[in-house]
Amino acid sequence: MRALTIALAVSVACLTGGTLTSAQEGHPLKGSWLGTWGPAKTHPNDIVVVMDWDGKAITGMVNPGTDDAPIKNASLNPDGWLVHFEADVKDKSGTLNYVFDGKIENLSFNNRTIVGTWKNQRESGQLKMSRQ
Amino acid sequence: MKSGVAFAFALVAMLLLGTATGSAHHPISAKFDDTKPQTLSGVVTLVDWRNPHVHVYMNVRNNNDADNWAIELESPIDLQAAGWTKESVKAGDAITVTGISARNGSRQLWATKIVMSGTGKEVLHVTPPSPPALLANRPAPRWPDKQPRLGPSAGGAQGYWAFPSSTVLSEASVPMDQYGLLRNVADASKVAPMQPWALALYQYRQRRFLQDDPTYLNCKPPGGPRQFQLSVGVQFVEDRDRQRIFVLIGGGNNNYRIIYLDGRGHQGQVGGDDDNPLYYGRAVGKWEGDSLVVDTRGFNEDFWFTNGGLPHTEQLKLIERFTRENFDTLKYEVTVDDPGAYTRPWSGGWTLRWVTGQEMPRHLCQENRP
């Protein structure tokens, strides 16, 4: 029974691996990214970032909705697929300037990830987002 | 417990095999390493006669046990053209296979030679099909109004377009194989005027031997110039009453593309507008002399638009020019305008040959998918 459990777990992993081998598309940052950037005192644990590419600039939004923040100073360095972007988030105490730095991993996959860090004037932490 | 373990391993093996089969159609170099030749002898257990590639499974003795190997061959279309049938090799036959090994170390081999062990008879002789001989001085067939026909002539022999003179799109002459795999990745920047991110992505795809190609991995349609690069060919069906041309695409999944000639614009078309990008985009065309000029835009980003993995974005716009120079030759020219991925518009092209008297082969990528 234990062997069967292991086999099924491996099978699920194999199937997931198969799913991961999806097509690469256009600009690697374009799309919706969902992940975590906590725990932190200044924001919830979950993060959504929507990014677009117009041929010249990367634009987008952090946490689209009532508390959204446009991203600024975004860049992608293809040498290492390094990602940088910033966003100004307003809260009760004023404006927090968030700086995000990360790296694209699993570039070939539709659900590739950005793994890196974030920081603002008060705290810092880890960032991990997957493209949806 | 013992049977449980056996069942568990069988389940895992089945799933692994399914995964391997599911990613079968590919540039050969994406999966196999031509620097690793290998020869195997064993007994055939199964012949899987399906597109996009035929597989022969064989047991190869390994000490007191037997390993089952998957021997990959060309497509049924290519094998049949070379005189093969489903029965050329059968379960129970003892064979010796020479080929190249899988890059990932799995028990898979791309066969270049198969010999029947008992008789020494070589049974695999696949040579690349060659275009039919040119019949001299055959002018392009025309409609009564003198406009060139892109499809078969009225009441005449059937046929289709295949044998592209080039299967890659490049601004300059850069050494690469038929799948667009560069001989030297350092030449990547010569292929097209790519933006830095696009060049890096193109090099990344090249360094992975094109193994991420969505057309081969997931049967994504070969939109853009790629539809005219595939070996299975294309056919034009001119519906003059409805002022449109259907381009039937032999590769991929027998998809079709519509070129509208009724003067409509790119907005508000049935089947797609700017909010609904498509694999084949939205194509409108008009005749300029003897050339059909087609303006296509509204592509999605879910496919590779050429062999070799040149990137594109939704800003891609193609101007294609089709000229039937004579009965047997169709000149294809394309200008790529994609400010999302390239620094300026750039062009390429090739010719296609008319295959007289034959119907376009039936090739469905998804036949060999789980």
The answer as to whether B146 is a domain residue is no
Length of chain A: 132
Alpha-carbon Rg for chain B in angstroms: 23
The answer as to whether B141 is a domain residue is no
The answer as to whether B9 is a domain residue is no
Same domain, B112 and B164: no
Query: Which of B116, B150, B184 represents a domain boundary (last residue)?
Result: B116
ipTM of the assembly? Answer: 0.81
Nearest Cα to Cα of residue B223 among B212, B239, B234: B234
The answer as to whether B190 is a domain residue is yes
The answer as to whether B15 is a domain residue is no
End-to-end CA distance of chain A: 35
Identity of the residue in A3, A23, A27 whose CB atom sits nearest the CB atom of B220: A23
Least confident of B124-128, B298-302, B322-326: B124-128
Interface test with B, best of A6, A15, A16, A24 (most B CBs within 10 A): A24
Separation CA B30–CA B33 (nearest Å): 8
**For chain B, how many structural domains are there in total?**
2
Strands B317-326, B329-337: parallel, antiparallel or unpaired by DSSP?
antiparallel
Domain around B74: 25-116
Q: What is the pLDDT of residue A3?
A: 45
What residue segments make up the domains of chain A, in order of their start? 2-131
pTM more than 0.95: no
**B17-34 residue pLDDT tens:** 333 333 334 678 888 988
> What does the DSSP 8-state code read for residue B197?
H
More confident call, A13 vs B252: B252
- For residues A99 and A4, the answer to whether their CB atoms sit within 8 Å is no
Interface test with B, best of A19, A27, A52 (most B CBs within 10 A): A27
Same domain, B190 and B289: yes
**What are the chain A neighbours of B339 within 8 Å (beta carbons)?**
55
Instruction: Identify residue A17 by its one-letter amino acid code.
Output: G
Same domain, B301 and B245: yes
A 10 A CB-CB count for A57 gives 10
Question: For B253, how many CA atoms within 13 A lie in the half-sphere containing its CB?
Answer: 13
If pLDDT is split at 50, 70 and 90, which confidence band does A18 have? very low
Q: What is the pLDDT of residue A67?
A: 81
A2-131 CATH fold:
Lipocalin (2.40.128)
Same domain, B98 and B245: no
> CATH number, domain at B37?
2.40.50.140
Query: Which of B116, B147, B172 represents a domain boundary (last residue)?
Result: B116
Instruction: Identify residue B247 by its one-letter amino acid code.
Output: V
Given an 8 Å threshold on Cβ–Cβ distance, is B4 in contact with A22? Answer: no
